Amino acid sequence: MRVLKVLSALSLLAFFTTCCGPLPDNITINIVEPTQDVNQIVQATFQSMTAQVRGLPSSTPASGGSLPRSTSVQATPSSTTGSLSGSLNYPADTLPAMFVVAYLTGSQSYQYVISKAGQGIFQIDDLKPGVYQVVAYTVGGGGFPVGLAGGYTKAVPCGLGSNCIDHSLIDVVVSVGKVTTSVNPYDWYAPQGTFIPFPQQTIVATNVPTLPPAIANGRISGNLMYPASGIPSLRIVATMVGTTNYYHIDTALGQSSYQLDHLPPGTYHIVAYVLPGGMYTGGLPGGYTKMVPCGLGYSCNDHTLIDVIVTPGNVTTGVDPNDYYADAGTFPPDPIP
């Protein structure tokens, strides 16, 4: 049987020599026991000979297959999309479930997530690079209307005060591999019809009656001071207790009072942050703490922030964030970059 296998192999080699010329000197055929199938031996020999005839390394495929290890290949980027994120609010004491929608400007494309009731933050992923505008819509149910819309508009960075009347949606740039943050659709006070209805809701915002902000919301006001010869520009931030929701207003250099409008009913903590300008480059924040009604004297050493209650249609007065004497880190950092 072994003789027959050898004769078969030699016959094939003779045929190859006739077609392709003499065998190269460095080709050796070894037959050992126990031998593999004769077809496997002949195939391996034929591949080695073919590689030598073509001038290719015997380990490199003649066509197809994998490239050698030394070959450089341009890597495909691991991500081709971006994300945007922000926080949510609503003019009531609780947050409803919402559709948070990112519209790609100049197109009919949009992408959205659905927040749960009470959820204060959101993030929309897998957005192709471009410019977007963001609107939140109430899902409805649980006493909340369907399709009431709040947008990320120019009234939001303005502070949503009575002087903030520009309800134009802000263009948000999404870049590959990055998260665009602080996209907060807080403007629930735009006139009906300002924002397009969410295409997937059957009841649209223009058909939903809403309470005027003056009735649905409350206000906080107070006096300002600073332990120096003047009062710097300040950012007054009201953070709703138990949530990440916050509202703010920036004051002018020397301004000695403030008022925060359009606050949903609830409980807040108030902190003032020094803004650079004039002779001021920064400083410790001031809080509305138990030190303030105590008189800020030497015997007053409780720097706990006071709970400020906001009720619909009312102004909570006397909220003076003037405790600048607490240790560093006592108050949370300014939430606005």
Domain boundaries, the chain: 2-53, 82-210, 214-316
Q: Which CATH architecture has domain 214-316?
A: Sandwich (2.60)
Largest CA distance in the chain: 112
CB atoms within 10 A of CB 76: 6
10-residue averages of pLDDT along the chain (337 residues): 48 51 50 47 44 35 30 42 94 89 92 92 94 94 85 92 88 95 93 86 45 65 91 92 87 90 88 88 88 92 94 90 93 86
- Common-topology check for domains 82-210 and 214-316: yes
**According to CATH, what is the number of the domain 82-210?**
2.60.40.1120
Give the ranges where the chain is alpha helix by DSSP (H): 2-20, 38-54, 155-158, 213-216, 291-294
Position 285 scores a pLDDT of: 94
Beta bridge partners of 69: none
| This prediction's pTM | 0.43
- The pLDDT of residue 129 is 94
